[in-house]
Structure 1
Amino acid sequence: MNARFLNKVVLVTGAAQGIGRGVAEALAQEAAKLVLVDRASFLPEVAAEIKAATGLADSDVLTVEADLESWSGAEQMVQAALTQFGRIDVLINNVGGTIWAKPYQHYQPDEIEAEIRRSLMPTLWSCRAVLPTMLAQQGGAIVNVSSIATRGINRIPYSAAKGGVNALTASLAFEHAADGIRVNAVATGGTEAPPRKVPRNPKPLSADEQIWYQQIVDQTIESSLMKRYGSINEQVQAILFLASEQASYITGTVLPVGGGDQG
């Protein structure tokens, strides 16, 4: 077993499903102390399954149910982590994902705002909330999960949100490299994942929305040099690399993991 994260306190947002859960499972295999954050009510079940599979002690895994679209949620998350563990070594910002798939002219103003709240604000709030602790420690690593969809179709508000994540990554790294804080991002490509237990958009897709979503799939595959979607594990391994000391001389970088699609 690798132990790159032995005795490291790692905070994972969006940990209940998809890439976030994959990150949590992989970190548990590498002996991390985990703070798993999500607004899904089944997060404790996920934590129990991870502990059973890896042998982590109850005291090594903390779950926090919080809405990271708000500053209060981010504050709650950090305070809970500090109360349990006293420090935060790594923050992995995984909350986000397009809610709707359609050409920009079909988005309503409230939908545009909802996309920005979903895919930019949790990363902004979480970075701000954890920063004082990492400054006091004079060290830490932040990995933001971005997307190659900054260059794509039928999800312009999501693309803009992830472009903001990329800009945040570069600027925060610049601002705090002297404080021993590394900030990087993984721009995920199309990723095969199990059906979500909590869908981002609970309403069934209309006939037009099904066509527009298929256009996203087709464009994603066509833009990839490998002509396929990636696996959750392929994204997870890139995220863990940037979070680890193996990437100790890398900061301010957005790493595309999209089969050759640079985003």
Structure 2
Amino acid sequence: MNTGLEGKIVLVTEAVRNFGGITALGFAKEGADLLLASAATDEMLEQSAHQASEMGAKVVTVQCDPSDQGQVDALVQKCLSEFGRIDVLLNNPLLPSEARSLEDISFDQWREKMDLEITGSFQVCQAVLPQMVRQEWGRIISYGGLAGFRGSDAMTSASELGIIGLTRGIAREYGKYHITANCICPGGVEGAGQSHPHSFPPGERDPLPRWGTPDEVAFLAVCLASEDAGYVTGQCLLPNGGKYFL
């Protein structure tokens, strides 16, 4: 597949969490340049940047809390000053949290999760869209989770459904500018997700009774960002081994 991503600029939020890092490397492999953001600059972020650089990508790293509007604005301006454009946003907002009964969730816990996952997603998308409109081209890909479809604890289910709703709203509003918006909602993927309370481990009755791999998830993000995926928008891809059929 010719993805057409060579020379494209990809902004990745929370590039060290969940599938952010492995997906960034998938874009680098296709010849894209990267701005990798994380709320905490640490060894994992620098390791991802180093690996992508070894593949030939130009990589810039930025510390950014997506729930902070000022930091998000600075992030986008940094990307534009370094690269001059933003072609792809990989929005990677999910914060692992303990599954709790609704009556046991404090308001502060609710607000923290919604601020990071929903408000953060809104602010990052809102900040990059004007540039994509000017370019008349863009791809927004968000990582969600299977709890938004199968259900889990109320807080996780609400947040993951919010990401889906935001994605579909952007798809409907901005398609006229050749901007697509899609989300990927994995379930039962190996790695950090195996110990996650909402990971949906494989069962004997699953059509594919095994753990998925992060590379299989990252592949879908690269496909959605490609030139050939220009007619795909407002969709949720569910790599889950058949645990849930949409």
Tell whether the structures are fold-level matches, with TM greater than 0.5.
yes
Note the alpha carbon deviations across 1:32-77, whole angstroms, 9 max, x for none: 011111112222343123323x133xxx111111101121222111
Aligned to 2:49: 47
Aligned to 1:69: 67
Instruction: State how far apart, in whole Å, the 2-side matches of 1:85 and 1:224 are.
Output: 44
Which stretch has the larger CA shift, 39-48 or 140-149?
39-48
Aligned to 1:7: 7
The residue type equivalent to 2:41 in the other structure is S
**Deviation of 1:3 (Å):** 5.8
| Native 8 Å contact 1:70 1:122 kept in 2 | yes
**Deviation of 1:4 (Å):** 3.2
User: Following superposition of structure 1 onto structure 2, how do residues 144-223 of structure 1 map, counting pairs within 5 Å?
Assistant: 144-152=142-150, 154-194=152-192, 213=197, 216-217=198-199, 219-222=200-203
TM-aligned CA distance change 1:194 to 1:110, over 3 Å: closer
User: Following superposition of structure 1 onto structure 2, how do residues 1-263 of structure 1 map, counting pairs within 5 Å?
Assistant: 4-42=4-42, 43-52=45-54, 54-56=55-57, 60-152=58-150, 154-194=152-192, 213=197, 216-217=198-199, 219-222=200-203, 224-260=206-242, 261-262=244-245
Note the alpha carbon deviations across 1:165-210, whole angstroms, 9 max, x for none: 11111111111111111111111213212599xxxxxxxxxxxxx9
**What residue ranges of structure 2 are gaps of 5+ in the alignment?**
none
**Deviation of 1:154 (Å):** 4.8
| Native 8 Å contact 1:98 1:155 kept in 2 | no
The residue type equivalent to 2:168 in the other structure is A
* TM superposition score normalised by structure 2: 0.89
Instruction: State how far apart, in whole Å, the 2-side matches of 1:240 and 1:107 are.
Output: 36
| Native 8 Å contact 1:190 1:220 kept in 2 | yes
Instruction: State how far apart, in whole Å, the 1-side matches of 2:206 and 2:143 are.
Output: 19
State the identity %.
30
**Deviation of 1:128 (Å):** 0.2
TM-aligned CA distance change 1:224 to 1:186, over 3 Å: farther
TM-aligned CA distance change 1:80 to 1:135, over 3 Å: same
| Native 8 Å contact 2:10 2:32 kept in 1 | yes
| Native 8 Å contact 1:98 1:119 kept in 2 | no
The 3-state SS of whatever aligns with 2:19 is helix
The residue type equivalent to 2:229 in the other structure is A
Instruction: State how far apart, in whole Å, the 2-side matches of 1:62 and 1:70 are.
Output: 20
The residue type equivalent to 2:31 in the other structure is A
| Native 8 Å contact 2:80 2:86 kept in 1 | yes
TM-aligned CA distance change 1:17 to 1:33, over 3 Å: same
Which stretch has the larger CA shift, 227-236 or 153-162?
153-162
